[in-house]
Structure 1
Amino acid sequence: MKSIYISILVFVLLLSNQMSAIAQCAMCRAGIENNVSNGETTIGAGLNMGILYLLSMPYLLALVLGYLWYRNAKKRKGKFLFHGEKY
């Protein structure tokens, strides 16, 4: 029961943090439009690379954790079969 309350608390905190991140979009857009109108296009490209970097990190983290879980489960399964235990 305690883990359910902790999960709900973490979810609410993450949700409230997301709202402040969405508020920054207008500032970024205004800054990029200002720089593009002045002829500087490198800042926009850098912002796009930053967005792609941030987009890839959760997937990379999930991939690494999934691999570690799979490797650990495979070791555990081999260990149980070696000793003659059935699961």
Structure 2
Amino acid sequence: MKKLILVCVMVVAAVMPALAQCSLCTKTAQQLGEGPAKGLNNGILMLAITPLAIIGLLSYRFYRSQREEA
């Protein structure tokens, strides 16, 4: 279980540098320059963390309940 959590954390950390912008956000970020563009990208990533964490928690609980029934 601890290995699974560690792997999940490592995957999330590896994905963090990915560009998380739609086409409109990309154009806006290009006009703002390098500094504000990084801030915009980080903000988008931070907003994505909560729904992904909720989905992960629900998936884990479903997996655990199915495993206990078997």
State the TM-score bracket (shorter-chain normalisation): 0.3 to 0.5
- Structure exhibiting the larger radius of gyration computed from Cα positions: 1
- TM-score, normalized by length of structure 2? 0.46
**Could you say which structure has the greater relative contact order, defined with CA pairs below 8 angstroms and 6 or more residues apart?**
2
- TM-score, normalized by length of structure 1? 0.39
